[in-house]
């Protein structure tokens, strides 16, 4: 079952991979060196990777994103939360699906749900309600042609090796 240690290990492993510039990270949902698979862990891993992608995008540093005009307008020591520039730039932060940002009292009132609990709710919802979008007929035809060509190449290679 997903826990804090799994989350830590997954984050460190995938973040180091992302920072090294790889273009594919595998192992979503895997635990115990791939011996166990958890749909909840896959949902958590999705959240981790989404946040890492956000990190890899970097943070734009401009007068606008630093809210230089807002600081001049409002002044140091005053409230910036309701200022339009704050709302315009709020999407710069991550928006996790399973990791909440509730205050302790609100978290208690919400049933003490941890990331694994929320991930389980998402898994149940997806399994119950997700509708698979059909593949476009032209795309399917092209995929079948590629598979047929690969099958033919494999069979030809196997036959050639057999005759050697």
Residues 142 and 90 in one domain: no
Residues 113 and 142 in one domain: no
Q: Are 122 and 98 in contact (CB under 8 A)?
A: yes
Q: What confidence tier does 92 reach under pLDDT thresholds 50, 70, 90?
A: low
Q: Are 46 and 29 in contact (CB under 8 A)?
A: no
Kindly report the pTM of this predicted structure.
0.70
- In the block, which residue shows the tokens 């609990």? 117
Q: List the single range of 34-48, 64-78, 146-160 with lowest mean pLDDT.
A: 64-78
d(CA 3, CA 114) in angstroms, rounded, equals 9
Residues 120 and 102 in one domain: yes
pLDDT digits over 112-134, tens only?
899 999 999 999 999 999 999 99
Residues 71 and 150 in one domain: no
Residues 93 and 65 in one domain: yes
Q: Is 36 helix (H, G, I), strand (E, B) or coil?
A: strand
Residues 87 and 159 in one domain: no
pLDDT digits over 28-47, tens only?
999 988 899 999 999 999 99
**Number of structural domains found in the chain:** 2
Residue 154's domain comprises: 135-164
Residues 91 and 19 in one domain: yes
Residues pairing with 36 in the sheet: 31
């Amino acid at each position: 079952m997903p826990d804090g240690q799994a989350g830590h290990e997954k984050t460190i492993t995938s973040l180091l991979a992302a920072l090294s510039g790889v273009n594919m990270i595998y192992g979503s949902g895997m635990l115990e060196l791939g011996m166990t698979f958890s749909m909840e862990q896959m949902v958590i891993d999705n959240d981790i990777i989404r946040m890492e992608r956000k990190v890899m995008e970097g943070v734009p540093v401009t007068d606008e994103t630093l809210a230089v005009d807002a600081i001049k307008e409002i002044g140091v020591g005053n409230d910036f939360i309701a200022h339009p520039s704050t709302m315009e730039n709020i999407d710069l932060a991550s928006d996790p699906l399973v990791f909440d940002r509730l205050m302790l009292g609100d978290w208690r009132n919400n049933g003490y749900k941890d990331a694994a609990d929320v991930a389980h709710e998402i898994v149940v919802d997806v399994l119950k309600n997700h509708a698979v979008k059909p593949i476009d007929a032209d795309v399917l035809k092209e995929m079948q042609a590629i598979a047929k060509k690969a099958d033919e190449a494999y069979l030809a290679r196997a036959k050639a090796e057999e005759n050697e």
